[in-house]
Amino acid sequence: MSRRYDSRTTIFSPEGRLYQVEYAMEAIGNAGSAIGILANDGVVLVGEKKVTSKLLQTSKSTEKMYKIDDHLACAVAGIMSDANILINTARVQAQRYTFAYQEPMPVEQLVQSLCDTKQGYTQFGGLRPFGVSFLFAGWDKNFGFQLYMSDPSGNYGGWKAAAIGANNQAAQSMLKQDYKEDITREEAVALALKVLSKTMDSTSLTAEKLELAEIFLLPSGEVKYQVCSPESLSKLLVKSGVTQPTPDSS
């Protein structure tokens, strides 16, 4: 019955659903998960890497985390090629704002602007929606540190902790239980790693399967976006008790 109503995004079904948008969210449900947590001194983003081959060149590029502007970064879940287009759009919008106002773009305005783009693809043009969900993390002088989640429909919300991608329901309920209000960045990292380890399919968590990025303020007042190196990530995993330390070879 519903087959009649799912070929075009611009059509509602009789039950009032947009099937293409829902199918897009299905696609994301199969992608690598990502978790974001808002701490009182920063925002933490952790992502699960799906592509883990020894042959992959992973020196500089990231799979899950992308910097949009000096004060804003995002984690993605879904179709990577779609994500690249939207990330580029977001970067252009941020620079365009800075060109006009000579100030960094407020985080919510960037998210809103990108979501307006996504919404367009659910209403006109006859093109399919973007199969990506985002977790935006950033800082601005109006509202400090912020975390936003957006999905293919173009809806977005501000969150204290959120999860996207595979098993996001389970991750979200775990975050709800363990999140506490004045959480520090360090505690947030530990919490994110713990939740991810429980919801990821793989049996053991190693640094190659993860990406960790943090947004925080330097003593100078500048916003810093830092991707954790694999070495420090391994140490963190051991410290938070998620992996066993490698036995010293005698």
Partner 1 sequence: MECVFGLVGDGFALIAADSSAVHSILVHKSNEDKVMILDSHKLLGASGEGGDRVQFTEYIQKNVHLYQFRNGIPLTTAAAANFTRGELAIALRKNPYLVNILLAGYDKDIGPSLYYIDYIATLHKIEKGAFGYGSYFSLSMMDRHYHSGMSLEEAIDLVDKCIMEIRSRLVVAPPNFVIKIVDKDGAREYAWRESVKDAGIAPA
Q: Where along the sequence are the contacts to partner 1 (CB under 8 A)? A: 99-103, 106, 108-109, 142
Q: Which two tokens stand for residue 63?
A: 């799979």
CB of residue 170 to partner 1, shortest distance in Å: 34
Cβ proximity to partner 1, 13 vs 113, nearer residue: 113
CB of residue 111 to partner 1, shortest distance in Å: 12
Cβ proximity to partner 1, 12 vs 101, nearer residue: 101
CB of residue 109 to partner 1, shortest distance in Å: 6
Cβ proximity to partner 1, 107 vs 175, nearer residue: 107
Q: Work out the burial of residue 230: count CB atoms within 10 Å of its CB; fewer than 13 is exposed, 13-18 middle, 19 or more buried.
A: middle
Is residue 135 within 8 A of residue 147, CB to CB? The reply is yes
Task: Round to whole Å and give the CA distance between 13 and 125.
Answer: 18
Cβ proximity to partner 1, 44 vs 223, nearer residue: 223
Helix 168-178 to helix 185-199 angle (10° resolution) is 140
Helix 185-199 to helix 230-239 angle (10° resolution) is 80
CB of residue 115 to partner 1, shortest distance in Å: 14
